[in-house]
Amino acid sequence: MSLAGMKCLVTGAGGFLGQRIVCQLLEEEDGPAEVRALDKAISLEALQNFQKVKTKSVLTILPGDIRDAASVQTAVQGVSLVIHTACIIDILGLVDKQTLWDINVKGTQLLLEICLRNDVQYFIYTSSLEVMGPNSRRDPIYDGDEDTVYESTNSLPYAKTKKEAEKSVLEMDGLPLKDGSAFVTCALRSMYIYGEGSNFLQRHVESAIRNNNVFFRMSVKEALVNPAYVGNIAWAHIQAAKAMKDPEKVKKIRGQFYYISDDTPHVSYSDLNYELAKQLGFSIEPKLAMPLTMLYWYALLLEIVSFLLRPLVKYIPPVNRHLLTLTNTPFTFSYKKAQRDFGYKPRYKWEEARKRTCQWIATLMGETSLKSKAA
């Protein structure tokens, strides 16, 4: 199936993942008639990336806030497919709870309501692995799937907002539209996403450069996870969209969530940074700065200090107990259900993903060197 003739909306189109989804939609040989890119702000670099794509599709840039009904109404009108990536990712507590809720949950619910009023038929939601966990006990999962039973105790605002938004999306599947058809929804739970342009990866690289090209270790080697390349996560969205138009495949995927990973080796978060940059001469600390139990006590102390200072100043600790749990719990998942139900297959193999990311890291090294000389 193709997306030919469709009008598609991508929310969060200026983000790390959203940009890739827009570009891949534009690259489709039998692509959509129109791709609408909605975001509060789309960088010049993103616009240049869009312009590089040779396409027959019309690209419409729409500045707008997901919380603003007028902006959403303008973006949705006449659209048949929405890919909703817009959200705030926050694992350190940098964003207040109400803002997270307003954007991640209320923004999603507003978008869903306006989609229903405008007879939008297909809706794909970018969810997160944190909907599942890991929990505070650091119970591991090895090669889990959509049927894996797990007691999640993650009460942090970001995880709660993603879980609630995903619930809203899946519960609306099957609701009737004005034309007599039914609303079709699904959610893609992505693993940790890496690749060129990742703000998280950039911060780790810049920190390593200041440390004589040595990555700090935040996770033990045994804490295996399966990160996924941004191009493959984007590709899963495209393949899910195509499957929604297939009368047989749509029966399987509607109202379902899927774990999306790829063939990146299972490594710890810290060791992933090293694997991506070691060809450039980077190394990594062999072990944690202190035993993991002591790191938890240290993180708790910082959280207490943050709480005591709250009436006077906003202090955000560089590490917290949730971050330590996230980076030190074995947590891997299979993408077999996505492969079986809608034909998901990674577009980029590990070696190509690593090469592309490594080349980007090399440019960061050059930029950092120039800044140092200028200083």
344 is catalytic: no
**Bridge partners of residue 60, in order along the sequence:** 36
pLDDT, tens only, 7-35:
999 999 999 999 999 999 999 988 899 99
**Residue-level pLDDT at 154:** 67
- Whether 242 maps to a domain, the answer reads yes
Contact 261, 228 (CB under 8 A): yes
Contact 131, 166 (CB under 8 A): yes
- Whether 124 maps to a domain, the answer reads yes
**Number of structural domains in the chain:** 1
Distance CA 196, CA 353 (A): 9
**Residue-level pLDDT at 367:** 66
Domain that holds residue 161: 7-198+228-263+333-348
User: What 3-state class would DSSP assign to 61?
Assistant: strand
Amino acid symbol at 180: G
**Residue-level pLDDT at 267:** 96
- Whether 310 maps to a domain, the answer reads no
Here the tokens at position 103 are 């954007």
User: What 3-state class would DSSP assign to 106?
Assistant: helix
Distance CA 238, CA 80 (A): 14
Distance CA 4, CA 11 (A): 20
DSSP secondary structure string for all residues of 302-354: HHHHHHHHTTT-----S--HHHHHHHTS-EEE--HHHHHHH----SS-HHHHH
- Whether 311 maps to a domain, the answer reads no
**Residue-level pLDDT at 254:** 95
Q: Give the residues of the chain that fall short of pLDDT 70.
A: 154, 367-375
Here the tokens at position 89 are 């990712």
- Whether 375 maps to a domain, the answer reads no
Catalytic residue among 158, 229, 258, 348: 158
Beta carbons within 10 angstroms of residue 17's beta carbon:
24
Distance CA 57, CA 29 (A): 9
Distance CA 24, CA 237 (A): 10
Here the tokens at position 235 are 């590709």
Compute and round to an integer the Cα radius of gyration of the chain.
21
- Whether 70 maps to a domain, the answer reads yes
We report the CATH number of the domain holding residue 53 as 3.40.50.720
- Whether 307 maps to a domain, the answer reads no
pTM here is 0.93
What is the DSSP code (8-state) at residue 33? Answer: S
Mean pLDDT of the chain: 92
**Residue-level pLDDT at 258:** 98
**Residue-level pLDDT at 368:** 61
- Whether 360 maps to a domain, the answer reads no
Distance CA 257, CA 262 (A): 16
Amino acid symbol at 3: L
